[in-house]
A and B are shown apart, each in its own frame.
Chain A
Amino acid sequence: MTAAARAGLILAFPALSVIALFFFVPVIIALALSLTDFDIYALADIHNLRFTGLRNYVELLKTPLFWSALGNTLYFTSVGVPLSIGASLGTALLLHSRLARFRGFFRTALFAPVVTTLVAVAVIWRYLLHTRYGLINYGLAHLGIAPIDWLGNPHFAMPSIIMFTVWKNFGYNMVIFLAALQSIPEELYEASGLDGAGWWLQFRHITLPMLGPTLLLVSILTIAGFFQLFAEPYVMTQGGPAQSTVSVLYFMYEQGFKWWNLGTASAVAFVLFLMMFTVTALQMGVARRLAIP
C-alpha cells in the first residue's frame, strides 16, 4: 500500500466507520431479525424468540394484505410517476418559454407545495375533497357531475392520494428540469429553426435528448420516492377505505410499530428494498441501452 493510499484510508476512516455503525450494522441486524419471529413475547423474554428461517417471507407472500399493499403501491407508482414527471416537465417548459410573464412569481407559487408541511396541506386537501362541502365536488356539480366520495370510496381514494402527491411534489422536479432547460445552448434551437424545424421537432430532437441525463436522474429519484408512499395515506385515510390505500411501507409500519412484529416488519423492509433495487437496476440498464451517459 502506498503512503498516499494509506493516508486516504485514514482520512476516510471516520466517515466509513460512521456509515458502518449507523447503516450497515442496523441493516445486518434487521436482516437477522427478519429470520426470527421477534414479537411482543420475545420482547418479554428472549427465550420466546425463535429462528424461523424464511418463514416470515413465506408467510408474507401468503398474506393477502401484503399483496394488496404491493398492488396499491405499484398502482400509485405507475400512475403517479408519469403524471408527476409530466407535470414537472410541462410546467418547466411553460416557465422556460419566452412568452412567460411573471416568471418569478409562478416559479415560487408552483414550488410552494414542496416546502409546506405535509400534514397541514393534507388537512386542507381533506376539505377540498370533502364529499358534501368540498370545493372539488362543488366545481363538478356545476358540470353536472354527481358528488364523488373521494376519500370514502375505495375506487377513488387512491386517485385522490395520487392527485395530492403529484400536486405536493411536482415543483421539486420542475426546478431541476428548469435548470436543465436553461443549460441547453440556444444555438441548437436557432440552427434547427433555420432548417425549418417546428416546435414539436425541436422538442423531440433537441430538448428531450439534451434532458436525457436529467430525466434519468429525476425518474430514479421519483420512483424511489413514490415506492416509499407512507405519510399521505397515514394522514389522509389511515390506509382506508377498505384498505385501498395501504402501501407496502404503511403495512410495514403497522406490523412493526403498532403490533410489534419486528420480524415480519423487517422482512417487509427487505422485500421492498429488493424491489426498489431491481427497478433501479432496470432503469440503469435501459438508460445504458439508450446510451444516456
Chain B
Amino acid sequence: MIGRRCGAWLAGAIALLPGCTAGDSRIALHFWAMGREAEVVLELIPEFERLHPGIRVEVEQLPWSAAHEKLLTAVAGDSTPDLCQLGNSWIAELLALKALVPLDAHLARSAISREDYFQGAWDGNVLGGSVYGIPWYVDTRLLFYRTDLLAAAGFTAPPKDWAEWLRMLDALIQNSHGERYGVLLPLNEYDSLIALALQQREPLLRDNGAHGNFANGEFERTFEFYVDMFRKHYAPPVSNSQIANVWTEFARGYFSFYITGPWNIGEFKRRLPAAVQGKWMTAPLPGLNGPGASTAGGASLAVFRGAQHAEAAWQLIEYLSQPAVQQRFHALTGNLPPRRSSWQGALESDPYAAAFRDQLERVKPVPKVAEWERIATEMRLVAERVVRGDLSVHAGALELDARSDRILAKRRELLAAGTIL
C-alpha cells in the first residue's frame, strides 16, 4: 500500500504526508469531500479512528467549483479515492461511467435502515433497483419570506398554494412603482423552476429517460405560472450577478420571497441587519393545490469501484450516518440530516428548520440520467428566452423537448443496444 499510493507522492511531498511513515501499520482510507463539509468532517474523524484502530482516514478537500471536473478526470485517469461525497445529481453520471459500486450487500447486514431516511432523498441514490449512495445531508428549496412586509400587505400566514401566493405577490407590489418586487427568481439559476416542475405528476423525462417530456399540459401549466411571475412584474428579470448582495436587498425589501436552501438560515441570521431579524421566516413551497413538492438535493456518500478498502469505506459511511454524529455535523455546518431520527433534539426547537422538516417529507429527486445537468441548463436558457418574450410558453416547451431529445440521442442508442440501464 505504502509503496503504491505514497511512493509517487513521496518524491515531492514528504513533509505534507505525516501519515506516510513506515511505522504506521493502519490502512489509509482515501476520502474526498468538498467545500465546507471537507473542513468540518476533520473534526468527526478522530472519534472514528479511535473506534476503528486499524484505519487512518485521509480527507482530501475539493472546492465545489472544481469538484465535478476533478471527479471525471479521476475516473478517466483511474485514480479515484475509496469513497467520496457526491452531489445527488452526479450519481447517474458516475454510474454511466461505471465508477460506483452497489451498496446493497453492505446495507443488508447494517444498522442503517432506509425507512428512517426521507424517501425522496433516499430514492435519488437508487438506480435499477440498487443503492449506490447513502444520503449524508439533504438540501431542498423553499420559501424564505419577510413576515413584516407580508403582514403590511394584509397576510398573516405564508401561502399554501399557487393562487394564494399570486394574491400575496399582487398585494406586495401595489404602489411599488417598479422599485420593489414580490419574489426573486434569478434567471441564471434553474433550481426554482425545477422545484416547481417536480410538483407535477408527469415526470420531466419519459420512457426511462429516453425523451424529454415538456410539451404536455402539466409542465406547460407550471411553466406558465413561472413565466407569469415575470410578466406581471412580481419577479425582476435579473440574474444573480446583477443583485450585488441578496441579503442586503432582502433586508431593504427589494423582494419579499426568495426560494433558497437551508444554508441560508445561517446566512440570514448572520448577515441580515438587526432591524430585520425576527421579521423573516421560512415556509414550505406552495403547490398547485396545497403544499407542493420540492427538489431532493444534498450530498451522498458513495464507494468507488476502484476502492482498495471498500469495507473500511463502508464503516466510515455507517459512522457518519449515526444520528448522534449527524447531529454534531449539523451543529458544525447547518446542513440538514437525512434521517428522521437525527432531527430529534436541537433541530426540533429551531423555528426556521420546521418548514424544512415539513418539506423534506415531500421532496423528489431529479431524473436520474447522466445528461440531466445539460437538460436542466437548457431549461434555464429556454425559460430565460420565454421570460424575455422571444418564445411563447408552448413554443418554449416544444423547444425543450427538441433540445432534450438531441441531448439524449446517444442514451437512446445505448438503451436500445442494452449497454446501459
- Please report which residues of chain A, range 257-272, place their CB below 8 angstroms from some CB of chain B when the two chains form the complex: 257, 259-260
Q: For the complex, give the distance between the alpha carbons of A257 and B67 in Å.
A: 12
Residue B419 at the chain A interface, CB threshold 8 Å: yes
Nearest-Cβ distance from residue B367 to partner chain A, whole angstroms: 16
Are the CB atoms of B414 and A48 closer together than 8 Å?
A: yes
Residue A232 at the chain B interface, CB threshold 8 Å: no
- Please report which residues of chain A, range 44-88, place their CB below 8 angstroms from some CB of chain B when the two chains form the complex: 44-45, 47-48
Nearest-Cβ distance from residue B23 to partner chain A, whole angstroms: 39
Residue B167 at the chain A interface, CB threshold 8 Å: no
Residue in A37, A127, A130, A242 whose beta carbon sits within 8 Å of that of B388 in the complex = A242
Residue A159 at the chain B interface, CB threshold 8 Å: no
Nearest-Cβ distance from residue A145 to partner chain B, whole angstroms: 18
- Please report which residues of chain A, range 18-59, place their CB below 8 angstroms from some CB of chain B when the two chains form the complex: 37, 39-41, 43-45, 47-48
Residue B187 at the chain A interface, CB threshold 8 Å: yes
Residue B97 at the chain A interface, CB threshold 8 Å: yes
Residue A241 at the chain B interface, CB threshold 8 Å: yes
Are the CB atoms of A152 and B188 closer together than 8 Å?
A: no
One digit per residue, 1 when the CB lies within 8 angstroms of any chain A CB and 0 when it does not, for chain B 20-41 equals 0000000000000000000000
- Please report which residues of chain A, range 232-271, place their CB below 8 angstroms from some CB of chain B when the two chains form the complex: 236-238, 240-243, 257, 259-260
Are the CB atoms of A40 and B239 closer together than 8 Å?
A: no
- Please report which residues of chain B, range 211-246, place their CB below 8 angstroms from some CB of chain A when the two chains form the complex: 237-239, 241-242, 244
Residue B166 at the chain A interface, CB threshold 8 Å: no
Nearest-Cβ distance from residue B40 to partner chain A, whole angstroms: 27
For A260, list chain B residues within 8 Å (CB).
72
Residue A151 at the chain B interface, CB threshold 8 Å: yes
For B385, list chain A residues within 8 Å (CB).
242
Nearest-Cβ distance from residue A161 to partner chain B, whole angstroms: 13
Residue A131 at the chain B interface, CB threshold 8 Å: yes
For A107, list chain B residues within 8 Å (CB).
none
One digit per residue, 1 when the CB lies within 8 angstroms of any chain B CB and 0 when it does not, for chain A 125-146 equals 0110011010000000000000
For B239, list chain A residues within 8 Å (CB).
152, 240-241
For A259, list chain B residues within 8 Å (CB).
373-374
Q: For the complex, give the distance between the alpha carbons of A74 and B69 in Å.
A: 30
For B420, list chain A residues within 8 Å (CB).
41
Most chain B CB inside 10 Å of its own CB: which residue of A48, A133, A151: A48
Are the CB atoms of B414 and A41 closer together than 8 Å?
A: yes
Are the CB atoms of A40 and B96 closer together than 8 Å?
A: yes
- Please report which residues of chain B, range 78-108, place their CB below 8 angstroms from some CB of chain A when the two chains form the complex: 93, 96-99
Residue B381 at the chain A interface, CB threshold 8 Å: yes
Consensus secondary structure, chain A interface = loop
Residue B76 at the chain A interface, CB threshold 8 Å: yes
Nearest-Cβ distance from residue A139 to partner chain B, whole angstroms: 18
Q: For the complex, give the distance between the alpha carbons of A108 and B304 in Å.
A: 54
Q: For the complex, give the distance between the alpha carbons of A243 and B385 in Å.
A: 10
Residue in A44, A47, A152, A241 whose beta carbon sits within 8 Å of that of B97 in the complex = A44
Q: For the complex, give the distance between the alpha carbons of A11 and B302 in Å.
A: 53
Residue B265 at the chain A interface, CB threshold 8 Å: no
Q: For the complex, give the distance between the alpha carbons of A253 and B90 in Å.
A: 19
Are the CB atoms of A43 and B75 closer together than 8 Å?
A: yes
Q: For the complex, give the distance between the alpha carbons of A243 and B383 in Å.
A: 12
Nearest-Cβ distance from residue B313 to partner chain A, whole angstroms: 21
Are the CB atoms of B96 and A41 closer together than 8 Å?
A: yes
Are the CB atoms of B242 and A45 closer together than 8 Å?
A: no
Residue in B93, B187, B242, B384 whose beta carbon sits within 8 Å of that of A131 in the complex = B242
Are the CB atoms of A41 and B410 closer together than 8 Å?
A: yes
Most chain B CB inside 10 Å of its own CB: which residue of A39, A40, A152, A259: A40
Most chain A CB inside 10 Å of its own CB: which residue of B93, B97, B237, B241: B241
Are the CB atoms of A40 and B97 closer together than 8 Å?
A: yes
Nearest-Cβ distance from residue A43 to partner chain B, whole angstroms: 6
When C-beta atoms are compared, the residue in chain A nearest to B237 turns out to be A152
Q: For the complex, give the distance between the alpha carbons of A131 and B238 in Å.
A: 11
Residue B183 at the chain A interface, CB threshold 8 Å: no
- Please report which residues of chain A, range 160-197, place their CB below 8 angstroms from some CB of chain B when the two chains form the complex: none
Residue in A39, A151, A241 whose beta carbon sits within 8 Å of that of B187 in the complex = A241
Are the CB atoms of A37 and B242 closer together than 8 Å?
A: no
For B388, list chain A residues within 8 Å (CB).
154, 242
Q: For the complex, give the distance between the alpha carbons of A40 and B96 in Å.
A: 7
Nearest-Cβ distance from residue B417 to partner chain A, whole angstroms: 9
When C-beta atoms are compared, the residue in chain A nearest to B236 turns out to be A152
When C-beta atoms are compared, the residue in chain B nearest to A44 turns out to be B97
For A237, list chain B residues within 8 Å (CB).
241
Are the CB atoms of B419 and A45 closer together than 8 Å?
A: yes
When C-beta atoms are compared, the residue in chain A nearest to B68 turns out to be A258
* CB-defined A-B contacts under 8 Å, sample of 20: A40-B72, A40-B370, A41-B96, A43-B76, A45-B98, A48-B414, A133-B244, A149-B242, A151-B242, A152-B238, A152-B242, A154-B388, A236-B241, A238-B188, A240-B239, A241-B239, A242-B384, A242-B388, A259-B374, A260-B72
Interface, chain A (partner B; CB < 8 A): 37, 39-41, 43-45, 47-48, 126-127, 130-131, 133, 149, 151-152, 154, 236-238, 240-243, 257, 259-260
- Besides A45-B419, A240-B239, 15 other A-B contacts (C-beta < 8 A): A40-B97, A41-B96, A41-B410, A41-B414, A41-B420, A43-B72, A43-B76, A44-B99, A48-B419, A133-B244, A149-B242, A152-B242, A236-B241, A240-B188, A243-B381
List 6 tightest A-B contacts by C-beta distance, closest first: A44-B97, A152-B242, A44-B98, A259-B374, A43-B76, A242-B384
